[in-house]
Structure formats: structure tokens, C-alpha cells
Amino acid sequence: MAENWKTRDKHRILCDRAAVLAKPLPQTDTSEQLQIIEFTLGSEWYGIELACAEEVRELSSLTPLPDTPPHIAGVIAVRGHIVSVLDLRTVLDLPPTSPAGTEKVIILRRDSMEFGLLVDRVSGIKDLPVTQILAPLPTLHGRAARYVRGVTASSVIVLDGGSILADKDLVVDQTDQS
């Protein structure tokens, strides 16, 4: 009789375990994740959507362009074609810093728009839950207000790559009327 009791007890335990294991696993909503490239400008940390970024390059031989707005740092050659490079410090109204020789260029691209962003250092790619992006400070104004998507609790300023790429004010399109 004791043998029969043990068998029933084992059977009940196994059925309970099977019921727990048969429940569906909780699904994590990956659509609520934003992949960003983290980088620095001076002492501040920034991130921009990976979906807008084509590549990250070492800054080598930046050619300055005369008579261009201050936000145009110059141009670089990328696999045989010329890419404009924007100085984010000027665009975001940050103080200029002297070059350290370790700068990088993040090439952004969407549709026919392509340009590089001059940054100090790139730390890598990070998955960021959208719920962790807090609203930007209400004191932001000008271009910075248009380009900042929000800030994280760890003080990473998340930029809106789509807004930067779509801003016609960043494009220099002068035609000689002579």
C-alpha cells in the first residue's frame, strides 16, 4: 500500500510540473527596443539610432571647405565618393574643443541623404528600451530641441537621426547665379 501511495504522489508531482512547463513563456516586446550607437562629444554621452547609421569610420584627411556654414566641418572620401561631415558641436550649440586625433565619423544615410557626424569617440551599440527614454529638458531650444529625442537615466542624450537627416537647414545647396 505504501508503494501505491508513492506512485500516486510522484504522478501528482509530475503532473503539476507538466502543467507549469506547458504555460507559454512571457514574451518580451522587441519592437519596444531601440538600437543606438553610443558616442561622446566632449564629456557628454550621446546615442543615435542604428537604423540611420551606415558605418563608423576613423577620421582621416578631413578637407575643410571655404565659405560654408560653421556646422560643415569638411568632406571626406568614402569608397570613391565625397561625403560631407557635420560638426555636431556646432549643430547642438556645444562649445568647440580642440581635435584629439581620435575622432570618428558616423555616416548617416536615409534615402538619398547621406552625411557624416564628427564625434569624439564611439563606445559601441546598445539596445535601449524605448520606455527608458525620458523626455528632453524643456530648456532646450533651437536645433537641439528638434534633434533630441530624449535622455536616459544614465544621462545618454538620444538624438533623432531621422530629424537630423531630414533637416534641409543642414544642407548647403548654393548654385552660382553668375
Q: Whole-angstrom Cα distance, residue 48 to residue 150?
A: 11
Neighbour count for residue 65 (Cβ, 10 Å): 14
In tens digits, the chain (178 residues) has pLDDT values of: 555 666 777 777 777 777 776 666 555 555 589 999 999 998 899 999 999 999 999 998 899 989 888 889 999 999 889 999 999 888 888 887 767 777 999 999 988 889 999 999 999 999 999 999 998 877 777 777 888 999 999 999 999 999 999 888 787 765 544 4
Residues 39, 45, 51, 53: is their CA dihedral positive or negative?
negative
Inter-residue contact 150 to 46 (CB < 8 Å):
no
| Structure-block grid coordinates of residue 29 | 516586446
List 116's β-bridge partners, or say none: 85, 107
**pLDDT, position 173:** 66
The CATH code for residues 31-168 is 2.40.50.180
Helix (H) / strand (E) containing 11:
helix 2-22
